[in-house]
Homo-oligomer: A and B are copies of this chain.
Amino acid sequence: TVDGTALWADILETAQIGGTPKGGVRRLTLTEEDRQVRAWFTAACTSLGCTVTHDSMGNQFARRPGRDAGLPPITMGSHLDTQPTGGKFDGIVGVLGGLAVLRALHASGHETRHPIELINWTNEEGSRFAPAMLSSGVFAGVFTEQEALDKTDRDGIRFGDALAAIGYRGEPPCGQHPVAAYFELHIEQGPILEAEEKTIGVVTGVQGMRWYEVTLTGRDSHAGTTPMPMRADALLAAARIIEAVSAVALAHGPDAVGTVGLLENRPNSRNVVPGEVFFTIDLRHPNDAVVVAMETDLRGRIEQIVTDAGIALAMERVWDSPAVHFDPTCIASVRAATESFGYPARDIVSGAGHDAAYMARVAPTTMIFVPCAGGLSHNEAESAEPGDVAAGANVLLRAVLDADAR
């Protein structure tokens, strides 16, 4: 089993890097804080006898040699970047749980057949650079490296330039790297495991998700002199669309969700009727056909709203990540590991996107979930129990060894 105390200490130590007064973490991808936590990762893995490299997308790989150098590695991983007001666990538990596995192997001197590799993926969150899971996406061939490097944040800074600026644009091209299996430990980020008092979620897949960017163009005008019927108020139209996104989610069953998370209002002055609004939409459902139906429904409502309001619409789907079904053999390894410890468990579908969703395209892949308090995530108050995190890392360890023995 893993050293749960050391694992918890690692979580608290890395939480200092970008730590917020409210106990959360602000460690946006490719910032100075990201650079610091990457250096921490390299030092920690090196001290356990691993070789640490990074590829052209900045993904970090810590490799522990196996008996048979010709075999592809069995990999574990997740991400160390966070949301602007993120927590100490999202992504971090997967990387540091993997570190705990490496530590256990190192301490016991256990020799595996395959090399064992721990990966820290760049820009999983998708908050600074859309979409999410960008670099595992390049690894899996979903995006080209060039399109990823050319993504810009809301200040217009290029991904490639930010990557070079923190010194993590590596030589080896991203993705030229066969993988025997990929296991990702993560907090659930939802309320189910806690509510049902389960320690482990055996993750069978990831729901489908689509992201959109919308720009509404009306006409700036004076808030005091422009009669209501003469206005072309882009923010009022945006407000109606925000309501429609919620209505569409509610109309497509209890598993559908829809969110407007980012909005920029222009010129953003108290006495100016807003002339332009930019915002994003996130639609998700475990069934891809329902995601398609939600989009059709929403587009119809949006057309009606902008037509009625006399507002010009530009709407683009910027990301489409279909539902994923994980590898039955990997799932079986996780289930067996969970049962061997006697942890209360249930099967679960992930509501969040994860690097595992893209890794599943190029390697046998699955995930292990542990509960988080109140199902709360993407929040500075995100919280998990040390015992649950250690249990997840134990399952990760046994699943990796099971895959190695196969």
Residues of A within 8 A of B (CB): 83-85, 125-127, 130, 132, 188-191, 207, 209, 211, 219-228, 230, 233, 235-236, 238-240, 242-243, 246, 249-250, 254, 256-275, 280, 282, 284, 350-353, 375-380
Contact = CB atoms under 8 A, between A and B. Distances in A.
Nearest to A244: B239
A250 B228 contact: yes
B261 A219 contact: no
A261 B273 contact: yes
A371 to B, nearest CB: 12
Contacts of A350: 224-225
A377 B221 contact: yes
A242 B246 contact: no
Nearest to A223: B259
Contacts of A223: 257, 259, 261, 282, 284, 378
Contacts of A243: 236, 239-240, 243
A232 to B, nearest CB: 11
A85 B191 contact: no
A284 B378 CA distance: 39
A84 B259 CA distance: 29
A239 B226 CA distance: 21
A191 to B, nearest CB: 7
Most-contacted residue by chain B among A254, A265, A275 (CB, 10 A): A265
A228 B377 CA distance: 15
B127 A272 contact: yes
A102 B284 CA distance: 66
A262 B84 CA distance: 22
Given A235-B242, A239-B238, A272-B83, A222 B378 contact: yes
A377 to B, nearest CB: 4
Contact of A268 (B233, B261, B269): B261
A263 B265 contact: yes
Contacts of A233: 246, 259
Nearest to A190: B225
A242 B249 contact: no
A92 to B, nearest CB: 15
A111 to B, nearest CB: 39
B351 A275 contact: no
A282 B191 CA distance: 40
B225 A352 contact: yes
Contacts of A273: 259, 261, 378
Contact of A225 (B211, B242, B266, B351): B351
A280 B188 CA distance: 37
Given A220-B85, A220-B380, A226 B270 contact: no
A220 to B, nearest CB: 4
A270 B127 contact: yes
A224 B189 contact: yes
6 contacts: A191-B230, A228-B256, A261-B273, A262-B269, A270-B280, A270-B282
A376 B221 contact: yes
Contact of A267 (B85, B256, B258): B85
A257 B236 CA distance: 13
Given A219-B379, A236-B246, A246-B233, A271 B224 contact: no
A191 B19 CA distance: 53
B270 A211 contact: yes
Contact of A222 (B227, B242, B352): B352
B230 A270 contact: no
B257 A268 contact: no
Contacts of A266: 85
Given A220-B378, A236-B243, A260-B235, A130 B249 contact: no
Most-contacted residue by chain B among A240, A258, A262, A269 (CB, 10 A): A269
Most-contacted residue by chain B among A249, A258, A263, A352 (CB, 10 A): A263
